[in-house]
């Protein structure tokens, strides 16, 4: 069945603001792809395949019972809700590459129907307050990276840093927070979360109790990406690639967007040609460590918080191979790439007297200038 209005008795998803009804083939992430490819969201996944494969490419421990499973593990996955909107005509998938600095692609990013950001990479407002950012001028950040965020694609580990992660939100004994239930959790942006850590035969943070707290309630704005989608990324692009243990969140975001969106445009992704540019646009200032694209492309050693040298990628991803994959996707017309700038720059904030303005975050008016950590006044 092609696109168009269905019969009144047929299932329908209103994906457009004018109420047009579309056939199942055009339902984006709210139905299995007609091509037989894996669904982006786990509630539409093939359970037999899901239960046959180990993490991060399946949920076998959850299906087999044991300490990480629950009394209704599989029914829980099936009853997870679809997002209110399942398809967008055009999307910007925004990575965190320093090639966005000075590229002035923000207006192009914000012009798409949806803006999908990767992990916790900050938008313009957040970047203007980041300690390690090269400047603090919010309008310039908006001009470079855009101001909108419709979706964030992240891992369950990354979600654990948010204050509405169930463990931090709920009151004892379920968590360490003050809320009796998950009502009141932020509804924007929407979150698409993957269980991507290569944990072998363990579910880790994706065990039954965490999945139930995070996704199985009427207030959730979080949606669980199927591990079968990660398996497709791996088998299609990275099988037998040395140093590639699991797909990066950026590759997961692109695969998710290709089901969610009619057209996918990439911003802030590296193609392997900008070795001296900062790896992250928000970690490229005078107080940052300034890792470069080369550090990650060649998986060089970088000092950790204790000064110990560690692999830049942690041994999880092969970014040189990923750059080759991205270039191939662009050549085949699967995505449209906006590569940004390769020259080392800090985004060019406005100058006053020859010096960049807003080099430091303005102090909050309600905070006293107490000496020592934690001695200022708290919030009013």
- What pLDDT is stored for residue 41 in this prediction? 95
Order of strands, edge to edge, in the sheet holding 114-118?
A: 222-224, 190-194, 151-155, 114-118, 88-94, 261-267, 336-338
The answer to whether residues 88 and 261 touch, using CB atoms and an 8 Å cutoff, is yes
State how far the alpha carbon of 27 is from the alpha carbons of 6, 15, 62, in Å: 13, 8, 28
Structure tokens at 377: 């006044």
Closest CA to 81 of 128, 123, 41: 41
Q: What is the pLDDT of residues 317-372, one digit of tens each?
A: 777 788 888 899 999 999 999 988 887 666 666 555 655 554 443 333 333 333 33
Structure tokens at 44: 């539409």
Closest CA to 106 of 139, 75, 135: 139
Return the top range by mean pLDDT from 8-22, 92-106, 271-285. Answer: 92-106
How big is the chain, counted in residues? Answer: 380
Q: How far apart are CA 243 and CA 236, in angstroms?
A: 16
What ranges make up the beta strands (E) of the chain? 13-14, 21-22, 88-94, 114-118, 151-155, 190-194, 222-224, 261-267, 301-303, 309-311, 336-338, 351-352, 355-356
Q: What is the mean pLDDT of the chain?
A: 78
Q: What is the pLDDT of residues 253-263, one digit of tens each?
A: 999 999 999 99
Q: What is the mean pLDDT of residues 190-218?
A: 84
Domain coordinates of the chain in residue numbers?
A: 1-31, 32-343
Structure tokens at 47: 């359970």
Q: What is the mean pLDDT of residues 51-59?
A: 91
**In the predicted structure, residue 374 carries a pLDDT above the cut 70:** no
**In the predicted structure, residue 25 carries a pLDDT above the cut 80:** no
- What pLDDT is stored for residue 148 in this prediction? 95
- What pLDDT is stored for residue 223 in this prediction? 95
Q: Does domain 32-343 have CATH number 3.90.1480?
A: yes
Q: What is the mean pLDDT of residues 56-64?
A: 89
């Amino acid at each position: 069945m092609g696109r168009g209005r269905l019969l009144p008795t047929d299932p329908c998803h209103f994906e457009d603001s004018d109420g047009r009804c579309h056939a199942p083939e055009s339902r984006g992430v709210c139905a299995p792809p007609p091509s037989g490819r894996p669904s982006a969201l786990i509630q539409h996944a093939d359970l037999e395949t899901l239960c046959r494969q180990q993490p991060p490419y399946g949920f076998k421990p959850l299906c087999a019972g044991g300490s990480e499973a629950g009394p209704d593990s599989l029914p829980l996955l099936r009853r997870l809700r679809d997002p209110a909107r399942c398809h967008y005509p055009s999307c910007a998938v925004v990575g965190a590459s320093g090639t966005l600095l000075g590229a002035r692609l923000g207006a192009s990013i914000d012009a798409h129907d949806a803006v999908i950001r990767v992990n916790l990479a900050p938008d313009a407002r957040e970047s203007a307050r980041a300690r390690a950012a090269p400047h603090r001028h919010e309008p310039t950040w908006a001009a470079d990276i855009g101001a909108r965020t419709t979706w964030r694609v992240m891992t369950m580990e990354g979600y654990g840093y948010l204050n509405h992660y169930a463990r931090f939100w709920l009151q004892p004994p379920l968590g360490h927070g003050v809320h009796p239930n998950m009502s009141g959790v932020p509804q924007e942006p929407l979150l698409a979360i993957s269980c991507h850590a290569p944990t072998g035969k363990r579910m880790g943070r994706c065990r039954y109790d965490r999945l139930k707290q995070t996704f199985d309630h009427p207030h959730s704005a979080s949606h669980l990406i199927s591990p079968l989608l990660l398996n497709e990324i791996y088998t299609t692009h990275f099988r037998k690639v040395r140093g590639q243990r699991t797909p990066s969140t950026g590759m997961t975001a692109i695969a998710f967007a290709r089901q969610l969106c009619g057209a996918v445009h990439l911003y802030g992704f590296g193609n392997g040609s900008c070795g001296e540019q900062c790896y992250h646009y928000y970690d490229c200032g005078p107080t940052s460590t300034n890792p470069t694209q080369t550090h990650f492309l060649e998986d060089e050693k970088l000092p950790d918080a204790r000064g110990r040298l560690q692999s830049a990628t942690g041994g999880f991803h092969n970014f040189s191979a990923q750059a080759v994959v991205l270039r191939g996707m662009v050549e085949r017309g699967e995505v449209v790439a906006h590569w940004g700038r390769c020259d080392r720059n800090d985004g060019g904030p406005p100058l006053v007297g020859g010096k960049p303005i807003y080099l430091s975050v303005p102090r909050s008016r309600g905070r006293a200038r107490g000496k020592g950590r934690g001695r200022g006044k708290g919030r009013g």
